[in-house]
Every structure is written in structure tokens, then in C-alpha cells.
Amino acid sequence: MKHIYAFETKREYEKYEELITTFEQNLKEYQLILEKDFELNDLPKGIVWTSQELAINVFSDVPIPAFTNKDTIYISPDLRAWRKLFIQQLDGKSFFHIQHFYEKLSENHILTILGHELTHHSDLFLDEFGDEREGSIWFEEGMCQYLPRKYLLTEKEFDEISTIEKELVDIFTKEYGNRSIDEFGSNSYTASLSSIMFDYWQSFLSVKCLVENRYQNNIKAVFEAYHQWDKEGRKLSLAEYFRLDKTSI
């Protein structure tokens, strides 16, 4: 897997050089976990490290500076930009403790975003990433949130982000809660940031519920049930198959 650096100036690259090196080393450890336990058999061709500006305005038109395009991951290591972006999720709502959490967000959380993109390449997911994924996109996205957070964050960090995102779901349920989890992404990337992220918060919390409550922390058992749903012909939506509802998270 190649590491490619796409910055407009050498000075900009040098600003992030040390952090990128740390991320690359820590990602390698997570990569080995995915290869050993979660069927990461084919790595992406490369990771393009770039600025937020280039990520969202040149390499894509997605408003989030981390994404996978075919076999290449693009991500910005700009921690300040990420903190600002996450505060924008609040849509101007005043929740001091949540804003304070994001203002102090650690580098580990940015590493989990990179881990999210790498996790998409696991062969345990049934549908090809980037193709139309009928009824199961929430599971893949939620698991791609859960696994890197579980393995790359401290226990305290994991509990904190789980609590924050549960609060965010509660806050925005009145606006977006009428959507089924099976409709992940139906509001598209033209929607507000909070609307986009609501699906990610809800999916992460649903997977967390499955792993930690329904399957007694056995992640592989959750994947086995997911595969069984497919073998049985997907007669129900995946959320219905798992008996997930609004109270589950």
C-alpha cells in the first residue's frame, strides 16, 4: 500500500509530516488485526494524504475530507479542520459539553477515520464497496465505525465518543429520526452535515448494541448472523432481521 502526499507546498507537507508518520505506524498495527481476524485480504492501492481543501474541492465533492475512491483512500491529517467540521455537525445548536469535546478531539479519533476507510476493504462485507448495497449499507458503515474505534481508541475515548453520539442522535431524532436505519444515505451528500452524520451515528450505535448487548462482545458472531441473513435470501431488511428499532440504541 503506497503512501502518497498531495499538498500544494512543501511547507504544508512538513507541517503534518510527523503526524502522518505516526498515523502510518499505528494504522499498520490495525491493518494486521484486520488481516488476522476480519479477512482484509486485499489492501487498497494507496493512501493519499492531502489538505482538507484539496480533498473536498479537487479530489471529490464530498464535504468530508476522508473517503475511498475505487482502490485509493484520501484523507486530510489536519486535526484543527476536523475539529471545526465536527462542531459544524451541531448546526449552530448550543451544547457546550459536546462542542468542548470536539474542540479537544484527540489525534486518535482522526486515526479511526482512516481505519474506517481501510475497514471497508474487508472481505467479510457481502457487497462490493461503492456498488448499490441493498438494505445493508448501515451495517457496513456502522461496523467500519465500530472496529477502528474499538481497537484504536482507549477505553475512555471509546466510551466518550459513544456517549456523545448517543446524545447527538437524541438531539436530532426530531429532525431525522423518521428515517429507517435501512435508508442509510437516502438523504445524500447534498443534505446538511448533521443529516449526513445522523446515519453514521445511528449505524455505529446499532452495531455497538449488536456486538456488546445481543452477541456478548463476539464480533465474529455478529458477522456470522449477517452472513446468515444473506444465505436465507434477505427476506427481511437487515435491521428487521436483527430486530433493531429506535429503542435498541
CATH of residue 178: 1.10.390
Only one residue has cell 459539553, namely: 97
Closest by CA to 1, choosing from 124, 112, 114, is: 114
Residue 145 lies in a domain: yes
Dihedral sign for Cα 38, 44, 46, 49, please.
Answer: negative
The C-alpha cell that represents 3 in the structure block: 503512501
The predicted-structure confidence for 162-171, as pLDDT tens digits, reads as follows: 999 999 999 9
**What residue type is 166 in one-letter code?**
K
Residue 247 lies in a domain: no
Residue 79 lies in domain: 2-241
Residue 158 lies in a domain: yes
Q: Kindly calculate the radius of gyration of the chain based on its CA atoms and give it in whole angstroms.
A: 18
Quote the number of domains for the chain: 1
pLDDT score of 134: 58
SS3 106: coil
Query: Using CA atoms, how far apart are residues 125 and 73, in angstroms rounded to an integer?
Result: 18
Cβ neighbour number for residue 6 with a 10 Å cutoff: 14
Residue 249 lies in a domain: no
Torsion of CA 48, 53, 59, 62, to 10 degrees: 110
pLDDT score of 183: 81
The C-alpha cell that represents 171 in the structure block: 438531539
Residue 99 lies in a domain: yes
pTM over 0.85: yes
Residue 248 lies in a domain: no
Residue 10 lies in a domain: yes
Residue 231 lies in a domain: yes
pLDDT score of 162: 98
Q: What average pLDDT score do residues 216-231 get? A: 97
Query: Using CA atoms, how far apart are residues 61 and 131, in angstroms rounded to an integer?
Result: 18
Q: Identify any residues that bridge with 6 across adjacent strands, giving them in sequence order.
A: 50
Q: What are phi and psi of 34, to 5 degrees?
A: -65, -40
Q: What is the mean pLDDT of the chain?
A: 92
Asked which of 96-110, 126-140, 159-173 is least confident by mean pLDDT, the reply is 126-140
